[in-house]
Amino acid sequence: MLLRHARSLLFLPASNPRAIAKARTLPCDMVILDLEDAVADDRKAEALDRALEALGEGFGLRLAAVRINVEGAATHGREMIALKGTAADYVVLPKVEHPKQVKDVFSVSQKPVIAMIESARGVLAANAIAAGEGCAGLFMGNNDLRRDLGLPDNAGRAGLGLAMQTVVLAARASGIAVFDGVFNRLDDEAGLEAECAEGHALGFDGKTLIHPAQVPVANQVFGPDAQALADARRLIEAATGGAERFEGRMIETMHVEQAKALVARAEAVGE
Ligand SMILES: CC(C)(COP(=O)(O)OP(=O)(O)OC[C@H]1O[C@@H](n2cnc3c(N)ncnc32)[C@H](O)[C@@H]1OP(=O)(O)O)[C@@H](O)C(=O)NCCC(=O)NCCSC(=O)C[C@H](O)C(=O)O
Ligand SMILES: [Mg+2]
């Protein structure tokens, strides 16, 4: 699966073997084995060992990624080196503020890097980060970004709006994938659905997640729905080139391209 087709990208602590086993049973498009904030300092080494073992066993058709620790952390260098030659599809690098951080991880791990944008500096550098060597995608890190911006935890996402749009713009300007941040409220399915819909409308390709119950919601919102897919197929069939009337609206070449992209996404995710 292409990165930009992923709808549901599930984080789990790499130190948790039950979560690793569970991930292999879930319809998520990417599994992200976390070595950073989900793992206590005294379990970092064990988490890396478990992540390498899990990559060896594989995750079926799901994309597999490992989030390593930040540049400067005691384990950062060892983690980058250990991932070289493994089955990881991507390395996720947290708290990126400069393209060189991505380039360095790419050159050591030899894996395409997904950069997490989680600070005011990161947002302001997002364009350069996205355009830099080795960068395959961007993740919003909204928990850390809230802290950096001084936004209250329960304040909704209005204060994150400009940052999210800046990150989407940066990714699109470089033609790379971009994913919304995690939703912390584990028992609020309606809230999750609303946030997925908001992220979809802002232009994110999919959503990063933290619990198995969140996977079907993200798949449903970010997967093309049956109606949109049927519309796209009719539009492709009807289009003859140039401006024309289609079911009461004007369509041109870009609408045909959009419809084809939607069909390709649906085929990629097996809808
Ligand atoms: C948030 C959790 C700690 C909740 O754990 P818990 O209450 O124990 O979960 P459940 O009892 O409901 O679990 C039910 C079964 O599902 C498995 N499980 C739980 N979470 C996951 C998961 N993420 N992936 C796969 N499987 C999972 C349990 O093992 C249970 O199965 P079984 O054992 O067979 O009964 C927990 O959900 C969790 O740890 N989530 C992930 C946390 C994480 O990775 N955080 C880091 C990424 S988010 C982040 O850092 C934000 C970003 O950087 C930012 O700044 O915004
Ligand atoms: Mg973070």
Residue 143: nearest ligand to its CA?
Answer: 1
- 209 and 235, same domain (yes or no): no
ipTM of the complex: 0.99
- 124 and 240, same domain (yes or no): no
Among residues of the chain, what percentage have pLDDT more than 90? 97
Closest by CA position to 91, among listed 154, 134, 151: 134
- 137 and 235, same domain (yes or no): no
Phi, psi of 21 (to 5 degrees): -65, -40
Q: CA torsion, points 237, 240, 243, 245, in degrees to nearest 10? A: -50
- 36 and 154, same domain (yes or no): yes
Concatenating the DSSP letter of every residue in 114-140 gives: EEEE-SHHHHHTHHHHHHSTTEEEEEE
Quote the pLDDT of residue 154. 82
> Which stretches does DSSP call E strand in 148-215?
177-180, 206-209
Total structural domains within the chain: 2
Q: Please state the rounded mean pLDDT for residues 59-79.
A: 97
- 123 and 240, same domain (yes or no): no
Residue pair 81/47 in contact by the 8 Å Cβ criterion: no
- 92 and 216, same domain (yes or no): yes
Output the pTM of the full model: 0.96
- 242 and 126, same domain (yes or no): no
**How is residue 95 annotated by DSSP?**
S
- 129 and 230, same domain (yes or no): no
The sign of the torsion formed by the CA atoms of 98, 158, 5, 21 equals positive
**Range of the structural domain that residue 206 is part of:** 3-222
- 241 and 211, same domain (yes or no): no
Structure-block tokens of residue 84:
């070289």
Residue 142: nearest ligand to its CA?
Answer: 1
pLDDT in tens, 197-252: 999 999 999 999 999 999 999 999 999 889 999 999 999 999 999 999 999 999 99
- 116 and 180, same domain (yes or no): yes
CA distance 170 to 99: 13
- 243 and 195, same domain (yes or no): no
**How many angstroms does the Cα of residue 93 sit away from the middle of ligand 1?**
20
- Amino acid in the structure at residue 139: F
Quote the pLDDT of residue 153. 83
pLDDT in tens, 19-64: 999 999 999 999 999 999 999 999 999 999 999 999 999 999 999 9
**How many angstroms does the Cα of residue 118 sit away from the middle of ligand 2?**
6
27 lines ligand 1 (CB under 6 A): no
CA distance 155 to 4: 29
pLDDT in tens, 89-100: 999 999 999 999
Structure-block tokens of residue 224:
């093309």
- 238 and 197, same domain (yes or no): no
119 lines ligand 1 (CB under 6 A): no
Taking 3-state DSSP, the helix, strand and coil percentages for the chain, each rounded to the nearest 5, stand at 50, 15, 35
Neighbouring residues of 83: CB distance < 8 A, sequence distance ≥ 6: 66, 68, 91, 109, 111
Q: Exposed, middle or buried, 249 (CB in 10 Å: 0-12/13-18/19+)? A: exposed
Give the CATH number, domain containing residue 13.
3.20.20.60
pLDDT in tens, 123-176: 999 999 999 999 999 999 999 999 999 999 888 999 999 999 999 999 999 999
Helix, strand, or coil (residue 232): helix
